[in-house]
Amino acid sequence: MPEFQRKRNRLPHQSYIGRHWYFITICTEQRRPRLSEPQLVACLLDVLRGECTAHSMNVYAYCFMPDHLHLELVGLAEDADLIQTLKGFKGETTSVGRAVGIRNVWQKGYYDHILREDENADAVAWYIFNNPVRKGLVKDPRAWPYSGSWMFDWKKAVAPPKEFIPAW
């Protein structure tokens, strides 16, 4: 009987190198609501900043939901590396989680989508910012304390007229 092999769910590594835009979703282990603690989210953001700096990435949009994290990341250089950024982030934040009594912060893997030329980065960001509204946690996305951008003042920005609707 052949050994079970997990289906490869990533493009070749080279697809994740360079000046690309990415939409990422990382879920907590067993979708447990672990990401509602302000101090934990602040620590996770610090780790994310360090990993993004180390791998030439920036955060166009983020939203920490109780059981998952949405990111819109941008490669800033030809050697920007999404895979290494996320590997470092998940590894370091596992240590942060253990320090506050959470054994397993993240489930294995993550979902990624490389934005195509015809996809509007602002629309993807607003999809991310509106996640707490869609889940009924707030009425206005600006009221959610765990969203933001390192590249623009999103709370003063206007949502694009055409909504992003993920293919999945």
Domain contains 161: no
Residues 6+ apart with CB under 8 A from 64: 35, 41, 44, 146, 147
Domain contains 124: yes
Using a pLDDT cut of 70, give the percent of the chain over it.
Answer: 94
The pLDDT score that the predictor gives to residue 151 is 98
1: confidence class by pLDDT, cuts 50, 70, 90: very low
Domain contains 114: yes
99: confidence class by pLDDT, cuts 50, 70, 90: confident
The pLDDT score that the predictor gives to residue 37 is 86
State how many domains the chain has. Answer: 1
The pLDDT score that the predictor gives to residue 11 is 85
Q: Report which of residues 167 and 141 the model is more confident about.
A: 141
Domain contains 127: yes
Domain contains 8: no
Using alpha carbons, select from 102, 121, 81 the residue that is nearest to residue 32: 102
Domain contains 21: yes
The pLDDT score that the predictor gives to residue 4 is 47
Contact between 45 and 59 under an 8 Å Cβ cutoff? The reply is: no
Instruction: Name which of 4-8, 30-34, 101-105 the model is least confident about.
Output: 4-8
Q: Is pLDDT above 70 for 90?
A: yes
Contact between 72 and 58 under an 8 Å Cβ cutoff? The reply is: no
The pLDDT score that the predictor gives to residue 101 is 85
Could you tell me the pTM of the whole model? 0.91
Domain of 126, in residue numbers? 13-153
The amino acid at 119: E
Would you mind telling me the total number of residues written for the chain in this entry? 168
CATH number, domain with residue 19: 3.30.70.1290
